[in-house]
Amino acid sequence: MASPAVTADRVAGSPGWRDFLRRLRAGDTIAHAIVLVFAASILLITVLLLIELWGNSALSRAKFGWGFFTASAWDPVAGEFGALPFIYGTAMTSFLALLLSVPLGLGAAIFLAEMAPPGISDSLTFVIELLAAVPSVIYGLLGVFVLVPIMRQVVEPGLIKSLGFLPLFRGPSYGVGMLTSSVVLAIMILPFVVSISREALMGVPREQREAALAVGATRWESTWQVVVPFARLGIIGSVFLALARALGETMAVTMVIGNDPRISSSLLAPGYSIAAVIANEFTEATADLHLSALIELGLVLFLLTVVINGLGRLLVLTTTRKGTAQS
Amino acid sequence: MRSLPVFALLLLALAVSGFGQTLINGAGATFPYPIYSKWFDEFHKLHPDAQINYQSIGSGGGIRQLEAGTVDFGASDQPMNDEQLKKQKTPVLHFPTVLGAVVATYNIEGVSAELNLTPEAIAGVFLGTIKQWNDPAIAKPNPGVKLPAADIVVVHRSDGSGTTFIWTDFLSKGSADWKAQVGSGTSVKWPVGLGAKGNEGVSGLVKQTPNSFGYVELIYAIQNQMPYARVRNAAGLFVKAELASVTAAAAGAAADIPDDFRVSITNAPGKAAYPISSFTWLLVPTRIEDPAKRKDIVEFLRWMLGPGQAMTEALSYAPLPKKVVAKELKAIALVQ
């Protein structure tokens, strides 16, 4: 093993300038090949994942076919499996989490990027990025010990009293359930929305703001009608990253969702998500069909993510074509 | 370059220390993990050349790894069924190691008394046919206890587990309705209730939800100081879960224990028997190719059935009854 001093000596005593250039050009090709392999590995991992999920779910696919998507029974004893309650639970909690966190996150991002003094903006952003690094089990524990009692004793009885005429807010208040897990998810994905939206807003050229102010716009008009539309690609990107996190979140969700594979019109009722049932039942699934059905659920989650991301891309494409600004 | 000889020496030292050591891998049930890790540690102290490595990945995972041949032995809270046994390349033996109990725990506002519960009442609550605490099926065996007219919040495990298997196995024996509608397994289709992850999840949710009713392993109820019910056994008596009453359940069932030890001891006969008890098993292949491994595994089984049993009570596991131990010692000879 050579010490650093020796290496430096060798480089200094290397052959002439021209050789060095030639080697650099060869290095270019090598570097090109290396990064190409790295890039290809992403595709390779995705394809391998898909092959594994497809192959190992063969038993369940053969038995249930397309009916897997529409059946709502989940009975490991009788060997009957359907994905619908899990798809509903995953999509519904993620959607609600977005509904709660996007307005909040966007508002916070606008404040941090446009209005707050730089010192405050930087320190707050640091805190928000810290939140993104908290492990999900911690959010789950906070959910169980802090949020669930509040939901059971205060929030849910209040909702039943005031909005109980809607089927969405009926039934007993258990504390755990779809609504509680949506709130936990919303808190978890908020840092993503804030942090990335703020970056996007900060990236808007100063000329845009100056031009808006020059034609007589107020500060708010320039922010809301010029800066935000200009940054919308980044903002939409932040929303989809947050959504991807919400769809796949496992620990925190399973701790507060109630884990009951049933589709209920009430948001206060317990539900179940795809990632949660896989984590819960995978280790003790002794029957082959049960295991295969769980793997097929993984495939369903994969497809769900692909479809939602596809829709997101489509949204971005259509809005940029119509829009005035390109970033 | 100077570091190279040092490095080589280190490697050599490592190789020498590793030489002559037998590394045995096992995987499976999480429920007996505390006692297993204690046992493997103590056994290693007595036999420094034998190192047993145990991964508590769940009973299902243990059975699959044994089938794939990636571990030397497995462990399960549920005996393997005939179909699973058929898939194993070499026949597999079941060795009961310790006993565990599952208790019915509750949190009823204003009630601190120990309840007497019948299997029918428990099944009714978990089926959703008994909805309130003051239902006659619960109130009748509990004269003098003032039960509220509150809705029962059922809490069950959401993760697949041996605890759920023991619980549902007991309910299947105690209630024909349960057997027909739900059945037994590590995960089942629950007619009602909230799912919580792990024993700690269930005990946590029961503790903070008023008028709730759930099931956990005995040790969790003791540790969390939660009340748990006396349950009516096959002899018609209400028995509290204790190490003695759990061992009594095994002793009651020992009379007609099959030679392969694959037996459920829920609802076991005997006046002192606690009805929601179960063995947990080590799964050992009958043929172990490596002679060193075979010697160590056999030695461990003998030691576990002898001095090992004395360590169980400190960790709240019930020891095996003598009859079962004697029968297992004979079965060890089948490992070749």
CATH number at residue B58: 3.40.190.10
Q: pLDDT confidence of B93, banded at 50, 70, 90?
A: very high
Q: Does residue A5 register a pLDDT over 50?
A: no
From residue A303, alpha-carbon distances to A281, A307, A310, B84 in Å are 21, 6, 10, 32
From residue B145, alpha-carbon distances to B115, B136, B139, B153, B214 in Å are 8, 12, 8, 19, 19
ipTM value > 0.90 = no
Q: Does residue B19 register a pLDDT over 80?
A: no
**Residues B83, B134: one domain?**
no
pLDDT for position A237: 87
Q: Is B118 left (phi over 0), alpha (psi -120 to 50) or beta?
A: beta
pLDDT tens profile A204-225: 999 999 999 999 999 889 999 9
Q: pLDDT confidence of B255, banded at 50, 70, 90?
A: confident
Minimum CA–CA partner of A279 in chain B:
B159
**Residues B112, B243: one domain?**
yes
Question: Which of B222, B255, B288 is the endpoint of a domain?
Answer: B255
From residue A225, alpha-carbon distances to A203, A213, A323, B22 in Å are 16, 11, 12, 72
B200 interfacial to chain A (CB closer than 8 Å): no
- Residue B177 structural domain: 101-255
Q: Is residue B119 part of a domain?
A: yes
Give percent above pLDDT 90 in chain B: 63
Handedness of CA B143, B146, B150, B153 (dihedral sign): negative
Q: Which of A1, A259, A282 sits opposite B1 (nearest CB)?
A: A1
Q: Which of B3, B59, B78 sits opposite A1 (nearest CB)?
A: B3
Minimum CA–CA partner of B159 in chain A:
A280
**Average pLDDT value for residue range A56-76:** 93
Question: Which of B199, B220, B255 is the endpoint of a domain?
Answer: B255
Tell me the three state secondary structure of residue B257. Answer: coil
Q: Which residue has the higher pLDDT, B7 or A254?
A: A254
**Residues B73, B176: one domain?**
no
**Residues B147, B230: one domain?**
yes
- Give dist(CA B253, CA B191) in Å, integer: 31
**Average pLDDT value for residue range B130-145:** 93
Q: Is residue B243 part of a domain?
A: yes
**Residues B88, B60: one domain?**
yes
pLDDT for position B16: 46
**Amino acid at residue number B110:** G
pLDDT for position B253: 84
Comparing CA positions, the residue from A98, A90, A102 lying closest to residue A302 is A90
pLDDT for position A81: 95
Q: Is residue B61 part of a domain?
A: yes
Tell me the three state secondary structure of residue B5. Answer: helix
Q: Which of A74, A279, A286 sits opposite B60 (nearest CB)?
A: A286
Report the 10 Å Cβ neighbour count for A29. 9
Put simply, the chain A residues between 287 and 326 with a CB less than 8 A from any chain B CB are: 290-291
pLDDT for position A286: 78
Tell me the three state secondary structure of residue B34. Answer: helix
Q: Is residue B318 part of a domain?
A: yes
Question: Total domain count for chain B?
Answer: 2
pLDDT tens profile A213-264: 999 999 889 999 999 999 988 898 899 889 989 999 999 999 999 999 999 9
**Residues B120, B251: one domain?**
yes
**Average pLDDT value for residue range A78-107:** 94
Using a CB-CB cut-off of 8 Å, the residues of chain B touching A258 are 194-195
**Are the beta carbons of B209 and A1 separated by less than 8 Å?**
no
**Average pLDDT value for residue range B131-146:** 93
Angle between the N-to-C axes of helices A232-248 and A288-322, in degrees from 0 to 180, rounded to the nearest 10: 170
Using a CB-CB cut-off of 8 Å, the residues of chain B touching A75 are 188-189
The average confidence (pLDDT) of chain B is: 89
Using a CB-CB cut-off of 8 Å, the residues of chain A touching B4 are 1
From residue B172, alpha-carbon distances to A248, B73, B85, B187, B257 in Å are 36, 30, 23, 14, 20
Q: Is residue B271 part of a domain?
A: no
pLDDT for position A1: 40
Put simply, the chain A residues between 234 and 263 with a CB less than 8 A from any chain B CB are: 254-255, 258-260
pLDDT for position A7: 47
- Give dist(CA B327, CA B152) in Å, integer: 44
pLDDT for position A314: 85
**Residues B112, B89: one domain?**
no
Tell me the three state secondary structure of residue A130. Answer: helix
Report the 10 Å Cβ neighbour count for B177. 15
A199 interfacial to chain B (CB closer than 8 Å): no
Q: Is A175 left (phi over 0), alpha (psi -120 to 50) or beta?
A: left
**Residues B289, B208: one domain?**
no
Q: pLDDT confidence of B30, banded at 50, 70, 90?
A: confident
Comparing CA positions, the residue from B301, B279, B323, B278 lying closest to residue B39 is B301
Check if the beta carbon of residue A233 is closer than 8 Å to that of residue A320: yes
Q: Is residue B134 part of a domain?
A: yes
Output the pTM of the full model: 0.83
pLDDT tens profile A292-304: 999 999 999 999 9
**Average pLDDT value for residue range B176-180:** 95
Q: Which of B153, B158, B189 sits opposite A259 (nearest CB)?
A: B158
pLDDT for position B10: 52
**Residues B120, B94: one domain?**
no
A133 interfacial to chain B (CB closer than 8 Å): no
pLDDT for position B9: 52
Q: pLDDT confidence of A14, banded at 50, 70, 90?
A: low
**Residues B143, B234: one domain?**
yes
Q: pLDDT confidence of B1, banded at 50, 70, 90?
A: very low
Helices (H), B134-280: 136-139, 162-174, 176-181, 198-208, 218-223, 243-254
Q: Does residue A96 register a pLDDT over 70?
A: yes
pLDDT tens profile A119-157: 999 899 899 989 888 999 999 999 999 999 999 999 999
Q: Does residue A37 register a pLDDT over 90?
A: yes
**Residues B34, B110: one domain?**
no
Q: Which of A284, A288, A295 should we substitute to test contact with B (largest number of B Cβ atoms within 10 Å)?
A: A284
Q: Is residue B228 part of a domain?
A: yes
A175 interfacial to chain B (CB closer than 8 Å): yes
Q: Is residue B180 part of a domain?
A: yes
Tell me the three state secondary structure of residue B318. Answer: strand
A172 interfacial to chain B (CB closer than 8 Å): yes
Using a CB-CB cut-off of 8 Å, the residues of chain A touching B187 are 76, 280-281, 284-285, 290
Backbone torsions φ then ψ of A203, nearest 5 degrees: -80, -10
pLDDT tens profile B198-252: 888 899 999 999 999 999 999 888 888 999 999 999 999 999 999 999 999 998 8
pLDDT for position B161: 86
**Residues B156, B32: one domain?**
no
